[in-house]
Amino acid sequence: MTDTAISTAPDPTGVAGLAEFIEQLRLLRAHAGNPSFRTLAKRVGPLLRPPQELTHSTVSDVFDPSRRRLNQELVAAIVLALGVPESQVPLWRAACVQAHAAERPAGAAGVFRQLPAELATFTGRREQVAELLAWAERAEPTERAERAERDELAERAERTERAEPAGESVDGGASGVVVAAIEGMAGVGKTQLAIRTAHELVRAGRFADVQLYVNLRGFDAEAAPADPAEVLDSFLRQLEVPARQIPAGRAERAAMFRDRIAGRRALLVLDNAADEAQVTDLLPAGPGCLVLVTSRRNLAGLDGAHLVRLDVFAPREALELLGRVVGAERVVAEPEAAEEVVRRCGLLPLAVSLAAARLRSRPAWGLARLAAYLRDSGLDAVRAGGRELRPVFELSYRDLPPHTARAFRLLSLHPGRGVTAGAVAALAGTSEADARAMLEVLLDESLVEQRTADRYELHDLLHAYALERAGADEAGPERAEALARLLSWYLHTVENLSRAVETRRLLETVEPRPGEPEPPFFATAPEAMAWYDAERENLGAVIAAAAEAGHHAVALRLPVTLLGCYQLRKDWVRWRSGYETGLASARGLEDRAAEGRLLNGLGLVRFDVGEYEAAIEVYREALALAEEVGNRPQVASILGNIGDCHCRLGDLATAETVIKESLEIFRDVGLPQNLASSLCNYGVLLHEAKRNDEAHATYVEAQAAAQAAGNRRYEAIIVFNRAEVCVDLGRTAEAEDDFRLALAASREAGDRPTEAETLRALARVLTARERPAEALAALEESVALYEALGSPEAALGRELVAAARERAAAAREQQAARAREQGAAPAREQVAEG
């Protein structure tokens, strides 16, 4: 062929094979003036979706007449870049498909086009499709992968000759069949992902010899799961095995299938598998084959299978699907209603599709009307025509063992999300080990999700379904008793939590209920606080559920017992909400002592957020109740709190009078923890009044009381305050020692806010003592803690870190300058040898 352009554009229609098709591509390039492959690569890259940079060798490979397959998307971009009008590109695509079809080996006739059609509304899943396409490389590497393998083999041969160690090798494909299993809950879009991936491979000219599809009916309301022997019979017929030659036995059919498909580039989609046993005999044996399996059940037992766990859509994807069905303009016109629709569908693709189809069939409705319908009708609303969601869930539920089915139903009674096996054991009245085993079955059946280790949750729509089943299958008294066990288990767990966090005197507890499992025990405060951090959302829901169900004794005890956790985490919203709920329950029970204690806690949260005058009003109401019931320790505690408020408001005289009254009572009744708290408040007052020597002595006494009570958290706060007094007294060495004591105590108590504040204060002392590097390290650690807490103090900390870095750099420069002046050699670390 010459380098001159030819006058007539080639026509690919009727090509007899790939070599002939590639010849037409070469003629098309000549017709376009024979642009260089580098130039062509620059033109083609932006035409791909998504756009990408191509090497000239990638483009030149397409024109190699020895190619066994071509990527249709790349071919389409090349012909566009060579000047073919966009209207004629489908002609070249069709010719490319025809060319691949013409390459089929003898005996493969009739096995093409077995894949179901793709849904026009297929949305998202780009990462999963890319993951599966990459996995397909193991079965049938692309030309580029094969070239990379050849290059790697050549390099390895050179290294062998030079006796050099080999590096990592390129994976040149699997030695046997490659299997990818797509798992997930009902309606999450497993089948459509498999079909889309299969079509992507076919469009790229991959697995051109055999493409087979079967619905194994693993979860079908109207038919039993497909018999693998019958599926094999169908596969063999499609592979043109005469009916009389097909063996009768399943094992013999499987052997013949493996034989007939050997050596072919085959793609199998085994949809809706019941389990591994149904799939095993349908797998080819040799290389060059890819099998995509979908199932609601976990298929980890498939040897060597790559597992793809499919989750619900991201909100953006769900909105995109909604727009594809009902029209993007309707989603744009009602964005808030559209977001509510997909949220009420739980971001589940099938649910979004059904809801959208319902809207499309009702032109008079808007998205707001659909959202209201979903809000009012629950699962009944998720249907369109003869399709609905409830029977889809029923298929997964119906085959559960009885005890597991009961656990699934009772799980819906938990008021929170992300539950532990212990909580499920309480609901079911069984051991934690049995509960975990049942949860694992539900996880394998895709009826629960596990987003973090040891925590399980129901998808919103599955929760609604489980709640329906609980209402239908569980007697009212049994549901009530299950909830009572759960609430009691939470109360006893929180009591163990409080004992680990601080030695707070608890309200009189309730006895465990029959069947209630042993609550968790916490060896350390950090361990306990880790549990609280994971459960804080659930705990708020449990308090509300206890009050709503009339379990007022639990509803008022839980927030009081959680006070230390609320304080440690500055969990003001949950603190106030929990105490308000508990207060209503205490008033419902006419428990005046508990009412006073809850009012005191509400005063504490107002104090903690700086609402001092409002806190005093609540404290006075609590004080009246404590005096009414004759609870002297409670009276003293509230007086100390009132004094602390006056101190913060600058009324030091009133504060001192009230706090001294509190101290007198605590010294009389002999409660070291309460005495430590009151002394701490008095020390703050004295420090505010610049009576630093008295403040220091008061904090020494307060520390001794905290140690007698065994409360490391109180001790951390007290010693921190004493260190601040030492700073004002100019005793920086002593201040550093106290800050380090406070740091150790706060870490032992799991008090991260005090730990962060102590590190920042320690940095200030270290700076004053001309140790900038240590100060910088303390500040950086403090900022990390504040950021983990989501505290606004992190911003100030970052400013202090920047200033500390400048000081540290300046100090290093000064040290280097002094060393240069003295002619000293830089110091080096040495390793001592024995």
pLDDT of 147 above 80: no
Distance CA 75, CA 61 (A): 11
8 Å CB contact between 761 and 739: yes
Backbone angles phi, psi at 80, to 5 degrees: -65, -45
Please, are residues 663 and 671 in contact by the beta-carbon 8 Å criterion? no
Is the pLDDT reported for residue 148 higher than 80?
no
pLDDT tens digits, 523-572: 888 889 899 999 999 999 999 999 999 999 999 999 999 998 998 888 99
CB 326 within 8 A of CB 334: no
Region of poorest pLDDT, from 13-22, 463-472, 722-731: 13-22
Report how far residue 603's alpha carbon sits from residue 607's, in angstroms, rounded to the nearest whole number.
6
- Where does the pLDDT of residue 11 fall: very low under 50, low under 70, confident under 90, or very high at 90 and above? confident
Closest-CA residue to 574 (of 517, 623, 532, 525): 532
Question: Cα(420)–Cα(455) distance, rounded to whole angstroms?
Answer: 5
In 173-303, the DSSP E strands lie at: 178-183, 210-215, 266-271, 289-295
DSSP 382: S
Residue 177 main-chain phi, psi, to 5 deg: -60, 145
The three-state secondary structure class of 441 is helix
> What pLDDT shows up at residue 243?
80
The amino acid at residue 126 is R
Q: Residue 108 above 60 pLDDT?
A: no
Q: Return the structure tokens found at 256.
A: 């013949």
- Which residues, 6+ apart, have CB-to-CB distance to 496 below 8 Å? 519, 520, 521, 522, 528
3-state SS track over 67-81 = CCCCCHHHHHHHHHH
User: Among 354, 350, 359, which Cα is nearest to 327's?
Assistant: 359
Q: Which carries the bigger pLDDT value, residue 70 or residue 680?
A: 680
Half-sphere exposure of 73 (CA within 13 A, CB side): 15
Range in 74-78, 265-269, 385-389, 784-788 the model is least confident about: 385-389
pLDDT band at 762 (very low <50, low <70, confident <90, very high): very high
* pLDDT exceeds 80 at position 373: yes
Q: What percent of the chain has pLDDT over 90?
A: 39
Q: Which of 652, 632, 650 is nearest to 694 (CA)?
A: 652
Tens digits of residue pLDDT in 326-371: 888 888 989 999 999 988 888 888 888 888 888 888 888 889 998 9
User: Helix, strand, coil: what percent of the chain each, to 5?
Assistant: 65, 5, 30
Contact 482, 423 (CB under 8 A): no
Q: Under a CB-based contact definition with an 8 Å cutoff, are residues 210 and 264 in contact? A: yes
pLDDT, the chain, mean? 85
Using N-to-C axis directions, what is the helix angle for 612-629 and 592-608, rounded to 10°?
A: 160
Tokens 């940079």 map to which residue? 53
Q: pTM of the full predicted structure?
A: 0.67
Instruction: Report which secondary-structure segment, H or E, holds 567.
Output: helix 563-569
Calculate the CA dihedral of residues 801, 803, 809, 811 and round it to 10 degrees.
-110
How far apart CA 637 and CA 718 sit, in angstroms, is 17
Give, for 306, the enclosing helix (H) or strand (E).
strand 306-309
Q: Other C-beta atoms within 10 Å of 803: how many?
A: 12
